[in-house]
Structure 1
Amino acid sequence: MERYDQLYRLYDDFDTKRLRAYQEFVDLFPPVDSRVALEHWQNANEKLTEGKDEIREAFPATGETFAEIAARATRDQAFTALDLLSKHGHSVNALVLDVDETLRSAGETDNEIPRETLYLLTELHESGVPIIVCTGQTLENVKGFMIQGLGNEIVHSGRMSIVYEAGTGVFTPGHGGETKQLLYEELDEEIREVFARVRSRVLSDAPDHLRRGCHLQGNEFNVTMKPNFETGSAEAKRVIDDALVYMLDLLGESIAEQVDIDGEPTQITDWTRAYYAGADSEIRTVLEESGELPTEAGEVPGQLDGFFERIDVAYYEADAAEIGSLELNKVVGVQRALDVLGVDEPFCVVMGDSKSDLRVMKWVEEESCGLAAAPAHSSRDVLDHVIRTDELVYEPGQAADILTTIATLNRLARLDSAG
């Protein structure tokens, strides 16, 4: 209880709110060519130093660490960090981060990663914590905005990895032959052939309204239809719902053509829709609401079922319909990234909002190798998991709250280790 008593004293006896304001101003003050502004910065820096010195004197054995905690973390963040350390007994040695609607949030942050979040990521990286960006986006897209946000030096530091297209590839600059790993090339040829068939037909065979209303994301392997409307809009929802039904049917046809399954086209369609409706409640809802859910599909033939068990169909409302491999997911990608980064005994914080992120969250729980955090607008299953485990739910666009808590946890862990 001594550490808790010290934190109570820290936040009760010192003006930590003022100290945080000075620290934020000093850290995030933009470079300007103004003598008056520079004098203002220097004054704030002097006040910050004075405040930290008071804490250093009050806590002779822990003052340096407590001064940093007081200047960067709120009372709630500090006590949450200590609770997590007491519960798990580990510092965090890897960040596993989704991007869209996790680090950045459309409508809340102009779809950019907030400056404070980027600063904290840089701080954690410089403290020795590797970063794994884990996303459904293409490599070039992710690499571009991460270089823009964090800088080329961090992205190519050898301590950052990008798991892209939800786990079909891993890019870890600075690791020689392991820098880029195309995990989809390790799949069986028959699975790769199904994806090639779907990809070759997905736009050319699509109905006119889907060709006009959707585009293909430029993936290396997964097949992803995205709306030509604003994500989240009513128009986007309608076209993605239609795209989902179309892609289910195309998948069933492509598998049936390859393995020569007997059955009428309508029967193959019914088998495919029924299987994936049973596997995913969101897909079932879309099929029911559009009147496309078969009522009597019958038993799925073994050959077809064998393919279905290895191929994922994902639906993201008003955002995307996607066909991917169940053998390649974010968990597989994260595991490979950790291996390349040399994190032998990981204890990660996983931040995400969707079902693909939930798989990673469940993996770290099962292996007792991490924590899960999610924005409040996440899917219900993700929120249920996060609330049940460590309750690390944050407001949209406020990923910095969790990163501050993790940085505080690590400071406290180093303090305990030194003691």
Structure 2
Amino acid sequence: MEQYDRLYRLYETVDTETLRAYQEVVDLFPPLSSTVALDQWERAKTELDERKAAVVERFPEPYAELAARLTREEAFTALDLYSKYGRTVNVLVLDVDETLRSAGDTDNEIPRHTLYLLTEFHERGVPIVVCTGQTLENVKGFMIQGLGNEVVSSGSMSIVYETGNAVFTPNHGADTKRLLYERLDPVIVETFDDVRGRVLSAAPDSVRHGCHLQGNEFNVTIKPNAEVGSDAAVAVIDEAIRYFCGLIGESLAAAVDVDVADPALFARTYFATDPEIAAVFEAGGVAHDGDLDSAPSEFLDALRRLDVGYYEGDAAELVSLELDKPTGVREALDVLDIGDPFALAMGDSKSDLRVMEWLADADCGIAAAPSHASQAVLDHVNARDELVYEAGEASTVLHIAYGMELLAGVEE
């Protein structure tokens, strides 16, 4: 209880709000060429150092850093988690879109405060695994822009891209790029190739003219030409998912080379186990009531190895269940030589949920999600540690993980 008592005294007796304000000025507004700006920064730095020194006179040294960076609620949450698990986070596993950044709240950029904290973790030797459905070039581009090439190419950062199809970890020789999709059954690869080749050319006019194919290495992802989230984007992606699921069934039937009476109906029926997809089918009057028990076993077995992602107004995507984010994360941890991980996983979708569930089952991490995450993700996160944050505020959870490390360095 001594740590809790000290935290109470710290936040009761120290003006931590002002201390955090000075820390933010020093962190996010470094010295500039302007003499006036430099003078203001130096005054803030002096005041910060003096206030931290005053805290160190009364509390263990890490408490000055704790008070300068964490709110009272963040600090107590950090202590609760450290007391519960007895470990600190030794790897970050981070989704990007609608997790680190949010189109509605951060202009689709990762906030500076979040980027600063990621850099701090990197400098403290905590590897970062970025785990996304995006293409490698896209995610490399904005991570280099935000963190710098030195961090991205350091050898302690890995990118799991296309929802686990491949892993890119610079400066690891032959393991720098692991193409996991090359290990799949030829039937699955053939299905993906056929869907990719026909997905737009055989599509209804509204889909063919209203969508484009994302430039993935393996996944087949349809994106709207209209602004993501707009009414037009919602309408065209809904139309696309109705067509897309049927096309997958037809391509799969050809790949397994068996006689299937209505492969499109079987596929729509299978994918309609997702309530969101079922609702889109129903809204469009598309049948999804096939008798899966009557489907050939070869077809049904292969179908169960596929998944379709539906992201309202954003994308329709074909993925392999054998290459999900947990698979990619495990490969990344292997390349990074993290044999005993305790990860902080942050995400918002069902693909991120699979990572969170794997960490929970293996007792090797904690999970966090934005408040707009899918309900299944929120249910999992709330049932575990209630690490839910507002859109654009991923730094809140990163502060908590940072606080766990600081508290671990305090002797009882």
| TM-score range for the pair, normalised by the shorter chain length | over 0.9
Instruction: State the alpha-carbon separation in 1 of the partners of residues 276 and 408 from structure 2.
Output: 41
2:229 corresponds to 1:232: yes
Please name the residue that 1:17 is paired with.
17
Return the offset for 1:5.
Answer: 0.4
Match of 2:57, SS state, is helix
2:405 corresponds to 1:410: yes
Instruction: State the alpha-carbon separation in 2 of the partners of residues 372 and 147 from structure 1.
Output: 25
The amino acid that maps onto 1:206 is A
Instruction: State the alpha-carbon separation in 2 of the partners of residues 283 and 31 from structure 1.
Output: 52
2:145 corresponds to 1:145: no
The amino acid that maps onto 1:292 is V
Return the offset for 1:313.
Answer: 1.2
Which segment drifts farther, 114-123 or 298-307? 298-307
Match of 1:255, SS state, is helix
Please name the residue that 1:170 is paired with.
167
Please name the residue that 1:375 is paired with.
370
Which segment drifts farther, 332-341 or 206-215? 206-215
Q: Judging changes above 3 Å, is the alpha-carbon distance between structure 1 residues 190 and 39 closer, same or farther for their aligned structure 2 residues?
A: same
2:76 corresponds to 1:82: no
Question: Which of 103, 110, 121 lines up with 1:124 in the alignment?
Answer: 121
Please name the residue that 1:36 is paired with.
36
Question: Which of 70, 74, 80 lines up with 1:73 in the alignment?
Answer: 70
Give % identity. 60
Q: Judging changes above 3 Å, is the alpha-carbon distance between structure 1 residues 285 and 151 closer, same or farther for their aligned structure 2 residues?
A: same
Q: Is the 8 A contact 1:372 1:392 kept in 2?
A: yes
The amino acid that maps onto 2:109 is E
Q: What do residues 85-124 of structure 1 show as CA deviations (whole Å, max 9, x unaligned)?
A: 0111110000000000000000211110000000000001
Which segment drifts farther, 373-382 or 24-33? 24-33
Match of 2:233, SS state, is helix
Question: Which of 118, 125, 134 lines up with 2:131 in the alignment?
Answer: 134
Instruction: State the alpha-carbon separation in 1 of the partners of residues 103 and 212 from structure 2.
Output: 20
Please name the residue that 1:197 is paired with.
194
TM normalised by structure 2 equals 0.98
Please name the residue that 1:333 is paired with.
328
Return the offset for 1:297.
Answer: 3.7
Instruction: State the alpha-carbon separation in 2 of the partners of residues 397 and 66 from structure 1.
Output: 27
Match of 2:171, SS state, is coil
The amino acid that maps onto 2:110 is I
Match of 1:232, SS state, is coil
Question: Which of 240, 243, 264 lines up with 2:240 in the alignment?
Answer: 243
Please name the residue that 2:386 is paired with.
391
Q: What do residues 2-48 of structure 1 show as CA deviations (whole Å, max 9, x unaligned)?
A: 00001111111111111111110011114432222221111111111
The amino acid that maps onto 1:142 is V
Q: Is the 8 A contact 1:232 1:319 kept in 2?
A: yes
2:282 corresponds to 1:288: yes
Instruction: State the alpha-carbon separation in 2 of the partners of residues 126 and 132 from structure 1.
Output: 15
Please name the residue that 2:254 is paired with.
257
Instruction: State the alpha-carbon separation in 2 of the partners of residues 17 and 332 from structure 1.
Output: 42
Q: Is the 8 A contact 2:211 2:224 kept in 1?
A: yes
2:110 corresponds to 1:113: yes
Q: What do residues 149-176 of structure 1 show as CA deviations (whole Å, max 9, x unaligned)?
A: 0000000111000000000000000100
Q: Over the residues paired in the alignment, what is the CA RMSD in angstroms?
A: 1.1
Which segment drifts farther, 32-41 or 108-117? 32-41
Instruction: State the alpha-carbon separation in 1 of the partners of residues 202 and 196 from structure 2.
Output: 10
Please name the residue that 1:207 is paired with.
204
Q: Is the 8 A contact 1:270 1:297 kept in 2?
A: no
Return the offset for 1:258.
Answer: 2.3
Instruction: State the alpha-carbon separation in 2 of the partners of residues 190 and 263 from structure 1.
Output: 16
The 4+ residue runs of structure 1 with deviation greater than 4 A are none
Residues paired across the two proteins, number: 411
The amino acid that maps onto 2:32 is V
Match of 2:272, SS state, is helix
Instruction: State the alpha-carbon separation in 2 of the partners of residues 86 and 30 from structure 1.
Output: 35
Q: What do residues 177-210 of structure 1 show as CA deviations (whole Å, max 9, x unaligned)?
A: 0000000001111211111111111111112211
Q: What do residues 277-335 of structure 1 show as CA deviations (whole Å, max 9, x unaligned)?
A: 12x12111111111113345452221110111111111111111111100000000000
Instruction: State the alpha-carbon separation in 2 of the partners of residues 360 and 401 from structure 1.
Output: 20
Instruction: State the alpha-carbon separation in 1 of the partners of residues 298 and 43 from structure 2.
Output: 73
Instruction: State the alpha-carbon separation in 1 of the partners of residues 199 and 354 from structure 2.
Output: 27
Instruction: State the alpha-carbon separation in 2 of the partners of residues 268 and 180 from structure 1.
Output: 36
Q: Judging changes above 3 Å, is the alpha-carbon distance between structure 1 residues 246 and 296 closer, same or farther for their aligned structure 2 residues?
A: closer
Q: Is the 8 A contact 1:284 1:293 kept in 2?
A: no
Q: Is the 8 A contact 1:158 1:173 kept in 2?
A: yes
Instruction: State the alpha-carbon separation in 2 of the partners of residues 294 and 14 from structure 1.
Output: 62
Q: Is the 8 A contact 2:237 2:312 kept in 1?
A: yes
Match of 2:392, SS state, is coil
TM normalised by structure 1 equals 0.96
2:320 corresponds to 1:315: no
